[in-house]
Amino acid sequence: MTLRQRYDGVIAWFSEHMPVAESELHYENPFQLLVAVILSAQCTDKRVNMTTPALFAAFPTPEAMAAATPEEIFPYIRSISYPNNKAKNLAGMARMLCAEFGGEVPTDLEAMQRLPGVGRKTANVLGAVLWQREVMPVDTHVFRVSERIGLTTGSKTPLQTERTLERNIPSHLLPIAHHWLILHGRYVCMARSPRCGECGIAPWCRKYAADRRAEAREAASAPAGTADGSDMKSAAKAGTKASRAGKTTTAGTSASRAGKTSSAGARKKTTLAPAASAPVEGPERS
């Protein structure tokens, strides 16, 4: 399979089965999204969403937050990872927002990165979510999933992943592709136990193909008809996997549990193409 075929297959699958995908963070305006994204660093969106209602009630505007000290912000975010640093960043961010940007979140993504607590990924998230900018924010899910699927190869840094994805995904799809990969990593291709048997993009996944090849090698090298019945065990295992691969996938539906905030369209049930119909895996050509 060529790299292009892999990208095309993955993009086509997500386009059909997850036509709407959105951020799971709760917010009502750019300032609130900026606060939520700063808080979400190394923390779950769920935890952030539990925290922000009280925080936003106490500090509803950049001006209100700018008038607060980190010590005053801290109690509202104490259950979030790195609360001390984040309280300092929120106070500093709000002050700079008021002093240098008239209390408005800047639409210039480079300028936004001057705000305390705001790096490239955060600025790109706001750009993609708020203004549909053709950028690819790379968080831990996007980084991991891209490498597993084979959208990137040997990527060492988020920036490398960002560049590769931006080169290979049509620009107009970048804002939604960011959500596709995040939601896929969060609900299907989890770090420790990816749900490959229920994954809709398995036919284009490099790891899935590599795992199947390893299984085939293992089966081929096993002695036939061993006394302990290991040949029968292997057959049973393969049968189970085949039937898993053929069943209705939950990839789209799982990912779109975010879809609770996203859309009903993203909940569409789909059928995973049987592994046998997947393009033949071969060396990358590009």
Catalytic residue list: 121, 139
Binds ligand SF4 by CB under 6 A, chosen from 123, 177, 199, 266 = 199
278: left (phi over 0), alpha (psi -120 to 50) or beta: beta
**Cβ–Cβ < 8 Å for 263, 20:** yes
**Identity of the residue, 73 or 188, whose beta carbon is nearer to ligand SF4 in the bound complex:** 188
Torsions phi, psi of 191, nearest 5?
-60, -50
Taking CB under 6 A as the rule, which mask of x and - marks residues 74-113 in contact with ligand SF4? ----------------------------------------
Binds ligand SF4 by CB under 6 A, chosen from 196, 245, 272, 278 = 196
**Identity of the residue, 41 or 149, whose beta carbon is nearer to ligand SF4 in the bound complex:** 149
In the DSSP assignment, the letter for residue 245 is H
- Size of interface with ligand SF4, in residues (CB under 6 A): 13
Taking CB under 6 A as the rule, which mask of x and - marks residues 156-195 in contact with ligand SF4? --------------------------------xx----xx
Burial of 156 (C-beta count, 10 Å sphere; 0-12/13-18/19+): exposed
In the DSSP assignment, the letter for residue 102 is T
Asked if 255 touches ligand SF4 (CB under 6 A), the answer is no
**Identity of the residue, 6 or 95, whose beta carbon is nearer to ligand SF4 in the bound complex:** 6
Q: Choose the binding region for ligand SF4 from 19-27, 164-172, 205-213, 219-227 (rule: CB under 6 A).
A: 205-213
Q: How far is the CB of 244 from ligand SF4 (least distance, A)?
A: 11
Give the helix ranges, DSSP H, for 68-222: 70-77, 83-101, 109-112, 120-131, 140-149, 158-168, 174-187, 206-221
Contacts 24+ apart (CB under 8 A), 237-240: none
Q: Which of 227, 264, 256, 114 is nearest to 123 (CA)?
A: 114
Binds ligand SF4 by CB under 6 A, chosen from 163, 207, 241, 244 = 207
What part of residues 13-72 is at the interface with ligand SF4 (CB under 6 A)?
none
Q: How far is the CB of 178 from ligand SF4 (least distance, A)?
A: 16
Binds ligand SF4 by CB under 6 A, chosen from 88, 95, 148, 186 = 148
Q: Which of 84, 93, 76, 100 is nearest to 37 (CA)?
A: 93
Give the number of other Cβ atoms within 10 Å of residue 106's Cβ: 21
Binds ligand SF4 by CB under 6 A, chosen from 149, 151, 174, 181 = 149
Residue 174, C-beta contacts closer than 8 angstroms, at least 6 positions apart: 128, 134, 135, 136, 165, 166
Q: How far is the CB of 45 from ligand SF4 (least distance, A)?
A: 20
Binding site for ligand SF4 (CB under 6 A): 148-149, 188-189, 194-196, 199, 201-202, 205, 207-208
